Amino acid sequence: MAKHGRKYLEKAKLVDRTRAYSPQEAIELAKQTSFTNFDATVEAHLRLGVAPRHADQQVRGVVLLPHGTGKQVRILVFAEGEAEKIAFYKEYQSAVPKEYVSGENFCYLGRNYRLK
């Protein structure tokens, strides 16, 4: 059987495995027994008593985070000439889908623009 370290054993004493914790208590206990110095991921497994093979009993949900994921996409482009101008307009692609039309034309928000 695997042995555990001193810190693990100290934190394991805080958990009563025979007790059912409320969601608020479980979150606080997870924070107390955490080994990390950052915000770790916590999973919740729920037994809902539904049959997922029946269409009317499927459970799905979406959680919107209050501050998003906190990540920003940053792109750095080293280019000259026409490639530089194309890269400038591609910066806005994440907001609205666009397509490159031809040599010096560019489609932005459904309108064609000439690159200068």
Query: CA-to-CA distance for 15 and 39, rounded, in angstroms?
Result: 20
pLDDT per residue, tens digit, the chain (116 aa), is 679 999 989 999 999 999 999 989 988 998 899 888 887 888 888 888 888 788 888 877 777 777 777 766 666 667 677 777 677 666 655 554 444 444 445 555 555 555 55
Residue spans per domain, the chain: 6-57
Q: Tell me 11's DSSP state.
A: H
What are the beta bridge partners of residue 100?
106
SS3 (DSSP) at 114: strand
Q: Identify residue 37 by its one-letter amino acid code.
A: N
Which among 70, 72, 110, 105 is positioned nearest to 91, based on CA atoms?
A: 72
